[in-house]
Structure 1
Amino acid sequence: MKPFAAASSLVLALVAIMAPIQATADTKATAAEATAMVKKGVAALKAGGKDHDKLYTEVTAKDAKWVDRDLYLVVYGMDGSVKAHGANAKLVGNNLMDMLDIDGKPYIKERIDLAKSKGSFWQDYKFTNPTTKKIEPKSMYCEKVDELVACAGIYK
């Protein structure tokens, strides 16, 4: 085997070994990506004036602008009602104020309370990861916009 061919084979072997590791690392969104998605959602909410139906439809339809791997946008009303949900359309229209995570944490109530007191914040709780279908620790970044709260989170 010629030296160049041997080196090429070694590089290809390393790429083949590393590809699954990189693919696994790429499946989880980062805190910076979650923050950027929320900021993009806030800008869309502000640009839409009082009419947010187009945004709600795009988010809930899993438009690529609002869903990326395990990262998705969610919009809540200040009463805990789901206006748009990038991972579960069945939640849209429901009031989740009394929803508890697996540890009994009233995470939606806490989220609305934090929105009222802080405006923008990170919140920890447990939720089902849409890519693994397992309940995992999650950190959600949220920002209040008028009477709405836009959020996107990362799984740890």
Structure 2
Amino acid sequence: MNRKQSIRLVLALAAAAVAGATWASNEAATAPEAIAMVKKGVAYIKANGKDKGFAEITNRDSKEFHDRDLYLAVHKLDGTAVAHGTNEKMVGKNFMEMKDIDGKEYIKERVELAKTKSTFWTDYKFNNPVTKKIEPKTAYCERLPGEDYVVCGGIYKK
């Protein structure tokens, strides 16, 4: 192999490594990652208070609560969003009657489950912030201990 071929090989390998890293960073989040992020969110709120916790979850620049297509949303048990990882305009609005594309009132379901369970999963369809398409999603949720809030982080089903 001559010098020119060696340089081409090195450049090709470097390009493949960059492409592989880019592809890996676009992989969808997993169920264990959703559980871990929700638990981290609950712990953060408990340690720092609701105001700071909700603000950090809503902060799109937060590396703690945003990872690829995974982010957190927090609702009061009356259906009002108090934090949302991809759309701060949702904060303060009541979504109890919100329906997904199939007509499922998924926030109502989430709130009803949170009244009787400390942790649970719920399925619905939602806009994927990475693909910009409506996709099937499942969310892991935990009720904030001793509070009327539910913290959820969802993954898109493939």
- Give the TM-score, by structure 2 length: 0.84
Runs of 4+ in 1 over 3 A off after TM superposition: 5-26
Q: Secondary structure at the match of 2:46?
A: helix
Q: Secondary structure at the match of 2:100?
A: coil
Q: Cα distance 1:76–1:59, how it changes in 2: closer, same or farther (>3 A)? A: same
Give the match for residue 32 of structure 1. Answer: 32
Give the match for residue 118 of structure 2. Answer: 119
Q: Cα distance 1:7–1:118, how it changes in 2: closer, same or farther (>3 A)? A: farther
Q: Distance in 1 between matches of 2:112 and 2:6?
A: 59
> Pairwise CA RMSD of aligned residues?
2.2
Percent identity (aligned): 55
- 1:21-80 C-alpha deviation (Å, 9 max, x unpaired): 6633432111111111100111122223xx411111111122111111111111110111
Give the match for residue 147 of structure 1. Answer: 148
Counterpart code for 2:99: L
Q: Distance in 1 between matches of 2:138 and 2:59?
A: 23
Give the match for residue 43 of structure 2. Answer: 43
Q: Cα distance 1:36–1:8, how it changes in 2: closer, same or farther (>3 A)? A: farther
Q: How many residues align?
A: 153
Q: Specify every segment of 5 or more residues in structure 2 that has no aligned partner in the other structure, as ranges.
A: none
Q: Distance in 2 between matches of 1:32 and 1:8?
A: 41
Deviation at 1:85, TM superposition (A): 0.4
- Give the TM-score, by structure 1 length: 0.85
* 1:94 maps onto 2:93 in alignment: yes
Q: Distance in 1 between matches of 2:23 and 2:31?
A: 17
